[in-house]
Amino acid sequence: MWRLKAVRHRASRSAKDLEEFKHKRREHEKALRQARRDRQLISKRVLLNEDEEQEKDVMETDGAPVSPDQIREMIRSVQYGGEERDTHLAMLRKTLRDPQTHLIFTKVENSMYVLVGQLSGHNAQCQLQAAHCLQELSQSPHLGVGQACLAATPYLLTYLSSPSTKLTELCLYILGNLWPDGALVREKLLAQGIVTALANCIQNQRFNLAVVEAVGFTLSQLLQEKDVADKVIPLVMASGLVPHLISFLTPDPEFGLGPAIECAWCLHYLMSCDVDTSALLNHGVISHCSNLLITLGGATAKGSAEEGLELLIWPLLRCLGNLLATEVYEGAGCPVGVEDARLLVALCVFSQAYLSSHSALTRESLWVLNNLTADSPVFCSAMLFFNLVPHLLQLLPFSKGINSMVLRILGNIACKGAEYCVQLTYAGLLPALSATLRMADPDVVTLSLEVLHLLSTCSPQVAEEFGRLNIVPLLEAIKYYNEKEQCVRASYILDCYFHKHPMVDHQS
């Protein structure tokens, strides 16, 4: 289900709730960033169920943790409950919402045995309730709990082919949440054929988008884990999953972005491994990604972009960026698959639209632009043809990789020769450079000098412009007072184009 709507509902309940929500979010964000730096970024998905909202209010929290005896009692009533079993299971499920109960539960004898028994039984209601219980357990941060759930995995995998799509969906999320719980779990699941099961599932249930989303999520968990990448990836590539992933990239307007998001992140994880991408290219990933980005760019430009669209744009950009970097280009510098030049326009749209909310997305859009324009007269010409350079220049004030990437793109264009340099000058590049030359970031200054040099070699009028824009004293200042990288470049430009005295060997 499309989750952002649900989140909004929860968070808008009261000002106090909103504050709590924001605080929780900040804490989690900090933890996630640290986890990523430690290369341990994993998340378990919390399933929101429609009935959960009402139940949350009803549930009493007396604060006292459940005792093993109470759990034992609950299990016994499930085991021997007869007609009432599903009610007792529902009680158990409610109890298991409290993460503190998880470890207690797994320590009670027979607990998992009973639960798995219900999961594999004949009563459909009990099956579902048992699955819900397992789903709560799978969200536990304790590794021990995940490993205890291993007893259930053969059934979980079997039920991926179940005609009950609700059960299938639950099983998928359980498996996805269990995957990060240790090498033993992963080993078992691989041996039990999880990849093939996922492939069959997405094939059989391709008309049920909720299931597709769940498959996507679980697969993304598999692909994100670095340790087993060498085992998982070949299996995934051989399984026939990739064409399905590509086909679900285009979001369904009614269902929402969920499935597209999951499939896109899967493709990104695949793309950025050292995998042989030629197989992927044969599936037309580049053309799919670029056409989709153009559509999304149109929506973004018009302001009709759905909330959360960036969750889809992000992995698409990364797929495309990395594919372009590994792709062999044809003759005039044009990769196979990018046929519609409006991709450049879409990328510019993203870079501007998300600047204030997600500036990293701006940077990644520019990264893809760099990969398109590097060594490509066709795309460089297209940038000029669509008059996109002024849009790029507007991004020069921004740091953290944004202005340096813009300068790279401008350098790509300038490298192509005199006509390109002339067009860049018409677009107002020189005044922009006179600003970036004054910036504090040394990389920005170096890149600016590189671009300046490219422009100067192409056109003598540029030198006149320098004088008008007072760039010469600035270069002098850089030459005397900056670090070596900038100093030698500034000296060279001055010597070549402004000082009419014989060359001095600056290497000494």
Partner 1 sequence: MSDLIKLLDGGDEPRIGIYTIPVFKTSNEIKPHHLARGGDGIEENISPFTFTPQRIRLDKDDESFEDGDVHRHLYLQDLAATLAEDFQAPKVSEFKCHIAGCRQLFDTLEGYEHHYNSLHRHVCSSCKRSFPSNHLLDIHILEWHDALFQVMAEKQCMYQCLVEGCGLKFRTSKERKDHLIKTHSYPSDFRFDKSKNKSRIKEKTPQQKDVCMVDPSSVLSGELENSNSMDISLPQMSENKELVLPKQQKPHYSYKVPSSVCFGQGSVRGFRGGRRKK
Which residues, 6+ apart, have CB-to-CB distance to 399 below 8 Å? 441, 444
Least distance CB 48 / partner 1 (angstroms)? 7
Spatial CA neighbour of 110 closest among 71, 139, 140, 146: 71
Which lies closer to partner 1 via its Cβ, residue 155 or residue 269? 269
Which lies closer to partner 1 via its Cβ, residue 70 or residue 352? 352
Which lies closer to partner 1 via its Cβ, residue 77 or residue 457? 457
Which lies closer to partner 1 via its Cβ, residue 93 or residue 416? 416
CA 28 to chain centre: 17
Which lies closer to partner 1 via its Cβ, residue 41 or residue 91? 41
Least distance CB 158 / partner 1 (angstroms)? 26
Which residues, 6+ apart, have CB-to-CB distance to 465 below 8 Å? 425, 430
Spatial CA neighbour of 412 closest among 490, 286, 324: 324
Which lies closer to partner 1 via its Cβ, residue 109 or residue 483? 483
Least distance CB 345 / partner 1 (angstroms)? 5
Which residues, 6+ apart, have CB-to-CB distance to 57 below 8 Å? none
Least distance CB 107 / partner 1 (angstroms)? 27
Which lies closer to partner 1 via its Cβ, residue 76 or residue 400? 400
Spatial CA neighbour of 490 closest among 456, 462, 465: 456
CA-CA distance, 87 to 108, in Å (whole number)? 20
Least distance CB 415 / partner 1 (angstroms)? 5
Beta-bridge mates of residue 330: 334
In angstroms, how far apart are the furthest CA atoms of the chain? 101
Spatial CA neighbour of 474 closest among 466, 465, 463, 485: 466
Neighbours of 223 (CB within 10 A): 21
Which residues, 6+ apart, have CB-to-CB distance to 439 below 8 Å? 403, 445, 448
Quick one: tokens of 182?
């240790």
Which lies closer to partner 1 via its Cβ, residue 159 or residue 379? 379
Least distance CB 384 / partner 1 (angstroms)? 7
Least distance CB 212 / partner 1 (angstroms)? 16
Return phi, psi of residue 334, to 5°.
-135, 120
CA-CA distance, 47 to 177, in Å (whole number)? 11
Assess contact for 458 and 422: CB atoms under 8 A.
Answer: yes
Least distance CB 344 / partner 1 (angstroms)? 9
Least distance CB 433 / partner 1 (angstroms)? 12
CA-CA distance, 286 to 323, in Å (whole number)? 7
Spatial CA neighbour of 315 closest among 364, 373, 248, 348: 364
Which lies closer to partner 1 via its Cβ, residue 48 or residue 151? 48
Least distance CB 324 / partner 1 (angstroms)? 6
Which lies closer to partner 1 via its Cβ, residue 130 or residue 346? 346
Quick one: tokens of 170?
């639950």
